Structure 1
Amino acid sequence: MENNVQQYQQLADMLQTRIDENRIFTDQALLLAYGTDASFYRLIPKMVLRLKNLDEVIFTIQACAQFNIAYTFRAAGTSLSGQAVSDSVLITLTDDWRNHKISDNGHKITLQPGVIGADANKYLASFGRKIGPDPASINTCKIGGIAANNASGMCCGSAQNSYRTVDSMKLVFADGILLDTASPQSIRAFESNQSRLIMGINALCAEVAKNEALTQRIVHKYRLKNTTGYSLNALVDYSDPIEIIKHLMIGSEGTLGFIAEITYNTVIEHPHKASALIVFNNIDEASQAVTALSKDPVSAVEMMDGRAMRSVADKPGMPAFIAGLDLQAGTLLIESRASDKTLLEEQCATIMQTVAQFKVIESIPFTSDSETVATLWGIRKGMFPAVGAVREVGTTVIIEDVAFPVEHLAAGVLDLQKLFDRFHYDEAIIFGHALEGNLHFVFTQSFEDADEIKRYGDFMDAVAELVAVKYQGSLKAEHGTGRNMAPYVELEWGKDGYALMQKIKALFDPCGLLNPGVIINDDPQSHLKNLKPMPKADELIDRCIECGFCEPVCPSRTLSLSPRQRIVLYRELQRRESAGETENIKDLRKVFEYQGLDTCAATGLCAERCPVGINTGDLVKKLRTNKYKKFTPIARWTANHFSATTKMVSLGLKTNQVAQNVLGKKTLSTVVNGVRNISAGKTPIWIPEIPSANNSPVQSTKAANSSAKKVVYLPSCASRTMGQQAGNSDNRPLTEVTQSLIKKAGFEVIIPEQLSDQCCGMPYDSKGMNALADQKSQQLEKVLWQASEQGKWPVLMDTSPCAKQSIEKFSQPIEVLEPTGFVLKYLLEHLTIKPIDEAVMLHVTCSSRRMGLENSMLELAKTCASEVIIPEHIQCCGWAGDKGFTTPELNEAALHTLKEQVPNSCKRGFSNSRTCEIGLSHHSGIPYQSILYLVDEASH
């Protein structure tokens, strides 16, 4: 749809009357970054909006209609088929859309579209319930996308998807009218005001009822998993127009309206589960086993072909026999669930009796051992990343999603494999949800030249004929039609079915403004256009598939860019430089400087969520090497004179305290932050939570021979210099509290020599000064090796970032622990704990999360306090070394929801990083201290 620049400017002007201008984006670089989703299509929007409430959505819809400008809604952007990209207006939602309400003792849950799927299940866990859909992206994808795509998953099948489990919805239509299907009053008003739509729905129902062949086709298509086109089964399953509208919205991919809220009927989450891995000679035998197993108490049966198993054979922890399987082998991963252990054992025995009817060449029997189960499902979940990790630079990973009638599953797999050979997709693998006949196949594809695009087009034509015509299956079982399968909808559904879908689209969206080009697209070549380039940029990120799984844990995602978006911009920078496109490179570099580099916390949390393990922070630190190069001489001086450096920091803290006492907080803030404003942010910010100086210097101590329990205590440079902030109930410095607790447990404390010169290297590492970081790390390792008597005694570092840095850098066998790990392993058994009778906040630092200590930290806190609260959606505080002072907006953005999550009864919080606690205190309204204070207070 063509619209001129003036129309978009007029639209922007209108939107700014109701929407904050900082949530209306028109900068070209940001449009590219925000416009990218997980699919292999690229459309760059003219405008991106972040809307915070329903009124803004309705106003935007009506404004776009006034200027005849198209718009697309996006949730998490994990869609794979091109349904969440736009070349007009892209509408995203702020974190304000995360409300939920549980009713009917957990049998219903009402969710706003911004709720992450896994969070919905977390809310329901205490009721033993969950939502039905369980897509593989559930830790990232949002309810709006789950419902709009009718996403399902490994255990969901078609019986528990959104279509089958929806109870009610709040919907906004193309004219801005709101319908709450749970409200009789809203329904009456809608029926009165929208008689055209109601009459149109009734007419469509009558048309289907008269067309027996079409009715039978609809019934046949939906005995399979099917998300190709609109949910035509709504016209067969229901007669009430409101029910039909509600169910047509499921899987409509934002082309019929906006789902502002959905209430699900929840399903049982069985507490007892077991998994088994069974390998057969070939796919045919595996498929026969699937048919037999469909009558057994199985909750999931995942099939993997020989190539799929081969793709993960070299991954750590994989069973040894996988490497020896030939390419003909067929493997099933089976899960059974039950309400109690005895019933589960009986179910597993029944399933194995069925399996025994077939020739099994390898197996791992049913087990509930969490580690083994994680390994087994790691095989299945690791296949998509395995292909992505080995693809050639410049190619993209494509995952297609089809369904065969189960009776044709084996033949379908074999025919797909023949197509792979015919079109030379030698790396392609097949896996999927076998009970539903739903198969995913993954392959790599270049779109860099016309021949490659033609190869892909010919391949998809052949796949469509195979699946939709030969086997009468579904071309899209759960990933949505999008742009990718839009040209094939008529092939699958026939002329009558496709014409019906065109009428549905015209009825709901007469002006064609809602996500045009998706599901209904008259261009037979649309799936071969607007293909996303994947240029070589840097080996650290070249494997990125832009899936967006990293985004929920990124502390800068609401301020600037997420890891995915940083990679998108950096790829574009490298592409322009390689192509010699000097125009606009300077502007793009300037945007990337702040959005990409300055506001990245470089925590590495993204690597934990990334399917191929990419740490975008590593790229950022590498690029910072050049950015901070001019400061290297100063940094080198501080590294070589670290004792003097920390003394200057301590002097600064003392000066701050004096100034605060003399001038008062308000005046001091005005002066210091006024200078910051004048300097355009080049000087540090001042906040009242800046701690006092640590006036209790730590002295080096050597080990005595008498004690059998010793620990080397290395106070971080932060805890050596910083005391506590004003208002803390315990004003002792952390160094004093730590030693008190260690001695209370009967341990002798060893303080290393030359303590004031020691640093883990983190301050230099975060700025990409690798040589200086290594220098300090090696110096520290040498000192600790000596102090620990060559690794004989454990080393406690009182802040988690220092511990993580040292664990990763040290080459000698020194046991390094942060506070939580040390207390749990060494101190707790020697202490008598009486939990304090109060609720406390707990912040698990990003370094602790990356060390796998989240549950341990919660366990320790719960041991020491009657109630522990971990705030939602805060994975990292965004303090990031010194960025809390230099880039305070990052800390603010990362913690923007913290204060509202602190109950009135909660007066303090705990963590395990001294610098993080400054920002946490500032943005929560309560003081935060090390978790060691809590343990010390609760112990005797």
Structure 2
Amino acid sequence: MSLPTAFLDAIAELIPDNRRFSDPLSTLAFGTDASFYRLIPQLVLRVESEWEVQETLRHAHQHSVPVTFRAAGTSLSGQAITDSVLIVLGEHWQGREIRDNGAHIRLQPGVIGATANAALAPFGRKIGPDPASINACKIGGIAANNASGMCCGTAQNSYHTLAGMRLLLADGSMLDSEDAASVARFRQSHAALLDELARLAEQTRNNPVLAEKIRHKYRLKNTTGLSLNALVDFTDPLDILLHLMIGSEGTLGFISAITYRTVEEHAHKASTLVVFADAEQCCQAVTTLKTSPVAAVELIDRRGLRSVENKPGLPEFVKTLPDAACALLIESRAADDATLSQQLAQIEAVLKGYTLLAEVPFTRDPAEFGKLWAIRKGLFPAVGAVRDTGSTVIIEDVTFPIEQLAAGVLRLQALFDKHGYNEALIFGHALEGNLHFVFTQAFETSEQIARYRAFMDDVAQLVAVEFGGALKAEHGTGRNMAPFVELEWGHDAYQLMWQLKRLLDPQNILNPGVILSDNPELHVQNLKPMPAANALIDKCIECGFCEPVCPSRGLTLTPRQRIVLWRDIQAKRRAGQDTQALEKAYQYQGIDSCAATGLCAQRCPVGINTGDLVRELRAEQTRSPRIARWLGEHFAASLKASRLVLAAADGARRVLGAPRLAALSNGASKISGERLPRWHAAMPQPVRLAAAPAIRQMDKPRVVYLPACVSRAMGPAAADTEQTSLFDKTVALLNKGGYAVVIPEGLDNLCCGQPFASKGYAEEGARKLTELRDALLKASRGGLDPIYCDTSPCTLRLIKESPDSRLDIYEPVRFIRQHLAPRLTFSPQSTPVAVHVTCSTQHLGEAEHLIALAKLCATKVVIPEGIHCCGFAGDKGFTTPELNQHALQRLRGAVQECGEGISTSRTCEIGLSQHGGIDYHGLVYLVDRVTSPRTEEPSQLEVSA
């Protein structure tokens, strides 16, 4: 059914055009979450304020229009999709307030869980919920789904750590439980609602069978249905209302702010992996360990261990375990080392009562226990990586009473065999009896759907009926388990849920079909297609973990959305449908505006770099390979031409003045359809390289210095406080460190090929890369001397795309910390410094080391929050400046106290200087300023994070 015209007109007055989407590309992009369902919304609204949500709800209530809320879209059970109106949180829901020295934190729903914990870290605190998706999921979803995690259990989830809430009901009315005036108004305006809540609670408590069932269900980890425990845990209807919102999945109201009681984050940790002969012994140990000082006990069955046994760093014994083996990954945490030692002794005493097949002793080394947890974290992607194209990965989430955990594991494994899910594996939060099982499933034929339906019917009977467990422990009911809520809870409890739903949402406009549904087939309808599209992306499970680090998020598309749309385009092409309009829209949204820096791959559970897809698509569109070849063969002339262009622009600045040139440049750019770059004050002047330094002192160690082509063309901006070129500054610092500098022959014709590869000219890019590698081999005397490249993106390409064991290649961070720092004396400056960690520095694993170096140079270092990529992306800052501007929209406010910023990429520094309002320089400028040569022998110290 189409949306009412009156509603659409009202929304058009409320939400501006650029945050209101109804076109096919946008609705499909937003119509996907991490679940295996798909509904295409008719209208998507990106809201930026509580007032906008409130007014939208009032109009929706008036016109009976269903709405669904979306935070990060990482939910797994179909909670965040709709075929009506999708309300998506925009960029301005980042508010947070730390109170009582970290004991409480008030958060808006758009704050990412990990960001909240980073803010609490200086206080030694964190929020209680710790879902596996905490680096991507947002507070709104964490609270609305009552998400938990590996260490959260039931005591520290959102329900039990709730201290206050600001919420909107279906009619748009607002309540802030921490504002006395708001509470007083609400008690008066909604007296009838509160009275009914109180009556239902009293009725529930007076029904001993129902009340005891509720208490039993919430002794378990349970998110199936609405939070009926609120009716037996509280008597004040206001408290009941607030706690009903937790886990309601957007079906009862909108949480616009929540205050948590935080929990302690212990700094001292240790982990062990122990393997038992079978699941029964393993689960018996879990029961015993429950009274021990353990923070987490993760169960992993043999299939799970087998799926990751070839991962680097895992113990060899994993490959030789028998089929029945079952493992526990155990972690203990404490406030101090001595307490941790006592706790480990207690746990080890418990484990001595069991015969172990194998074990990795407790380790406190973060690197070592990180490898152990890589086993646990790698289970879900391990299945995703081996699934058949066209299938999806399903992760289910059940709870067995802890005393029946072993039987539950065995019965689940039997169901896998019965229904032919031979790849299925089991892992989970064993202390709570919470098991996840992962399997692959295609929904392309009626037989495949019937197989899934039969399997889920058996699972529901096993868990909910035979074992009296929970069909959803922490992933929320969604559409996935809505048909089974009554089976699990029984008639009386189920009808009570419907009474609550009708009381708070009488028109059923809030996320209808989620949690409560009278459609027994809901879980096998609106199933998401996963068609083959490209081998680079076919393993994508559309989880959304990639989205927080994408610079185009909120401007155009995210990596997940790029993949979703490309899959759809390919499927439509195969079906003979006209995709011309969709592809035209995708050109800018999906291809032109992608930075292609590959940060998405770092967050992706299966390692997909969506930038690789975009580069491949750009390659298909290239039309001038001969021109690319000519430019490559005459690169020195190309470089000279770029210097001439910069010189002309700088000459115009001198004649016209910066303000007038900027205005004229803006006008010319508009007339050209944004083909001409806009001049601004951060634009570089041309650089003229000094002659290659002669090597006179043969007793000095040699270093081959490779200035990147951007360093050879782009000097400091005219208004920059630093006017020395990066080339000269680098040579000076290397000399200060006692190194003789060697410059490769034919420097101006050398290039790593990145400018060609990023435009889709992979062949010419590869040729230039080979040419450069050969020149570096010669300059380094066959690899005898280290090679220093002053730009991290070029270094990354050299190391990753053309590896040569003979070449010892460094970018600035690693060379300075390993080779220069021991030869220099640091005198840190008092002026604060901002640090931008480039995408390539992150890929090279030097992010923390860059920050550590900056802290060696300055007493205060600022790392702007939430800026993962600057979006300049080589030349995108010139050709698609809105990407750079969007990615850095919050930079200026974050760095206003800093005297300068540092980075390791000259092009990134242009955009950072423009949008940060301070000058950004290469790291060498800062290091050179605060150091002097050591008078004694070089120390053995290496600067490390």
Which TM bucket (shorter chain)?
over 0.9
Superposition map of 1:621-632 within 5 A: 621-627=615-621, 629-632=622-625
**SS at the partner of 1:630?**
coil
**SS at the partner of 1:307?**
helix
**SS at the partner of 2:826?**
coil
Counterpart Cα distance in 1 of 2:374 and 2:28: 33
Residue of structure 2 equivalent to 1:912: 904
Q: CA deviation at 1:633?
A: 2.1
Residue of structure 2 equivalent to 1:646: 639
Residue of structure 1 equivalent to 2:598: 604
Q: Does structure 2 retain, via aligned residues, the 8 Å contact 1:761–1:777? A: yes
Q: Does structure 1 retain, via aligned residues, the 8 Å contact 2:400–2:408? A: yes
Superposition map of 1:32-51 within 5 A: 32-51=28-47
* In the alignment, structure 1 residue 282 sits paired with structure 2 residue 275: no
Letter in 2 for 1:828: A
Q: Deviations over 1:237-284 (max 9, x none)?
A: 000011100100000000000000000000111110000000000000
Q: Which moved more, 1:431-440 or 1:739-748?
A: 739-748
Q: Deviations over 1:99-152 (max 9, x none)?
A: 111111111011110010011111111111110000000000000000000000
Q: CA deviation at 1:811?
A: 3.4
Q: Does structure 2 retain, via aligned residues, the 8 Å contact 1:687–1:922? A: yes
**SS at the partner of 2:130?**
coil
Q: Does structure 1 retain, via aligned residues, the 8 Å contact 2:632–2:764? A: yes
Q: Does structure 2 retain, via aligned residues, the 8 Å contact 1:701–1:753? A: no
* 2:864 alignment partner, one of 854, 859, 871: 871
**SS at the partner of 1:380?**
helix
* In the alignment, structure 1 residue 791 sits paired with structure 2 residue 764: no
Q: Deviations over 1:476-505 (max 9, x none)?
A: 000000000000000000000000000010
Q: Does structure 2 retain, via aligned residues, the 8 Å contact 1:556–1:600? A: yes
* In the alignment, structure 1 residue 90 sits paired with structure 2 residue 86: yes
Residue of structure 1 equivalent to 2:829: 836
Q: Does structure 2 retain, via aligned residues, the 8 Å contact 1:310–1:327? A: no
**SS at the partner of 1:365?**
strand
Letter in 2 for 1:614: I
* In the alignment, structure 1 residue 850 sits paired with structure 2 residue 843: yes
Counterpart Cα distance in 2 of 1:506 and 1:77: 26
* In the alignment, structure 1 residue 400 sits paired with structure 2 residue 388: no
Letter in 1 for 2:580: K
Q: Deviations over 1:342-362 (max 9, x none)?
A: 111111111111111111010
**SS at the partner of 1:352?**
helix
Residue of structure 1 equivalent to 2:222: 226
* In the alignment, structure 1 residue 732 sits paired with structure 2 residue 724: yes
Residue of structure 1 equivalent to 2:133: 137
Q: Does structure 1 retain, via aligned residues, the 8 Å contact 2:15–2:45? A: no
**SS at the partner of 2:866?**
coil
Q: CA deviation at 1:701?
A: 5.0
Q: CA deviation at 1:809?
A: 2.3
Q: CA deviation at 1:702?
A: 6.4
**SS at the partner of 1:523?**
coil
* In the alignment, structure 1 residue 709 sits paired with structure 2 residue 682: no
Letter in 1 for 2:881: P
Letter in 1 for 2:729: V
Q: Which moved more, 1:804-813 or 1:139-148?
A: 804-813
Residue of structure 2 equivalent to 1:327: 323
Structure 2 length-normalised TM: 0.98
* In the alignment, structure 1 residue 578 sits paired with structure 2 residue 571: no
Structure 2 unmatched ranges of 5 or more:
933-945
* In the alignment, structure 1 residue 508 sits paired with structure 2 residue 501: no
**SS at the partner of 2:715?**
coil
Q: CA deviation at 1:333?
A: 0.2
Residue of structure 1 equivalent to 2:921: 929
* In the alignment, structure 1 residue 895 sits paired with structure 2 residue 885: no
* 2:312 alignment partner, one of 316, 322, 339: 316
* In the alignment, structure 1 residue 365 sits paired with structure 2 residue 358: no
Percent identical: 53
**Over 4 Å off, 4+ runs:** 701-705
Counterpart Cα distance in 1 of 2:474 and 2:583: 39
* 1:302 alignment partner, one of 298, 305, 321: 298
Counterpart Cα distance in 1 of 2:561 and 2:381: 19
Letter in 1 for 2:595: A
Counterpart Cα distance in 2 of 1:658 and 1:819: 32
Q: CA deviation at 1:525?
A: 0.3
Q: Which moved more, 1:361-370 or 1:719-728?
A: 719-728
* In the alignment, structure 1 residue 816 sits paired with structure 2 residue 809: yes
Q: CA deviation at 1:327?
A: 2.0
Superposition map of 1:101-500 within 5 A: 101-500=97-496
Q: CA deviation at 1:698?
A: 3.8
Counterpart Cα distance in 2 of 1:462 and 1:304: 22
Counterpart Cα distance in 2 of 1:149 and 1:823: 47
Counterpart Cα distance in 2 of 1:699 and 1:313: 55
Q: Which moved more, 1:67-76 or 1:661-670?
A: 661-670
Q: Does structure 1 retain, via aligned residues, the 8 Å contact 2:681–2:719? A: no
Counterpart Cα distance in 1 of 2:252 and 2:117: 27
Residue of structure 1 equivalent to 2:582: 588
Residue of structure 1 equivalent to 2:751: 759
Q: CA deviation at 1:883?
A: 0.8
* In the alignment, structure 1 residue 777 sits paired with structure 2 residue 769: yes
Counterpart Cα distance in 1 of 2:509 and 2:348: 54
Q: CA deviation at 1:671?
A: 2.8
Residue of structure 1 equivalent to 2:685: 692
Counterpart Cα distance in 1 of 2:202 and 2:129: 31
Residue of structure 2 equivalent to 1:554: 550
**SS at the partner of 2:329?**
strand
**SS at the partner of 1:760?**
coil
Counterpart Cα distance in 1 of 2:736 and 2:819: 12
Q: Deviations over 1:162-204 (max 9, x none)?
A: 0000000001001111101112221111010011210110121
Q: CA deviation at 1:63?
A: 1.6
Letter in 1 for 2:650: Q
Q: Does structure 2 retain, via aligned residues, the 8 Å contact 1:283–1:328? A: yes
Q: Does structure 2 retain, via aligned residues, the 8 Å contact 1:101–1:111? A: yes
Letter in 1 for 2:820: L
**SS at the partner of 1:544?**
coil
Letter in 2 for 1:517: G
Residue of structure 2 equivalent to 1:806: 798
Residue of structure 2 equivalent to 1:886: 879
Q: Does structure 2 retain, via aligned residues, the 8 Å contact 1:699–1:751? A: no
Q: CA deviation at 1:705?
A: 6.8
* In the alignment, structure 1 residue 539 sits paired with structure 2 residue 535: yes
Q: Deviations over 1:13-32 (max 9, x none)?
A: 32232322100111111100
Q: Deviations over 1:50-79 (max 9, x none)?
A: 111111111111121222111000110000
Counterpart Cα distance in 2 of 1:715 and 1:285: 61
* In the alignment, structure 1 residue 744 sits paired with structure 2 residue 739: no
Counterpart Cα distance in 2 of 1:596 and 1:116: 24
Counterpart Cα distance in 1 of 2:739 and 2:645: 34
Q: CA deviation at 1:815?
A: 1.3
Structure 1 length-normalised TM: 0.98
Counterpart Cα distance in 1 of 2:628 and 2:717: 28
Q: Deviations over 1:791-810 (max 9, x none)?
A: 11111111110111111123
Counterpart Cα distance in 2 of 1:929 and 1:434: 51
Q: CA deviation at 1:566?
A: 0.1
Residue of structure 1 equivalent to 2:610: 616
**SS at the partner of 2:874?**
coil
**SS at the partner of 1:836?**
coil
Q: Deviations over 1:486-540 (max 9, x none)?
A: 0000000000000000001001100100000000100000011000000000000
**SS at the partner of 2:463?**
helix
Q: What's the RMSD between the two structures over aligned residues?
A: 1.1
Counterpart Cα distance in 1 of 2:99 and 2:291: 33
Counterpart Cα distance in 2 of 1:914 and 1:690: 11
Counterpart Cα distance in 2 of 1:16 and 1:836: 53
Q: CA deviation at 1:297?
A: 0.5
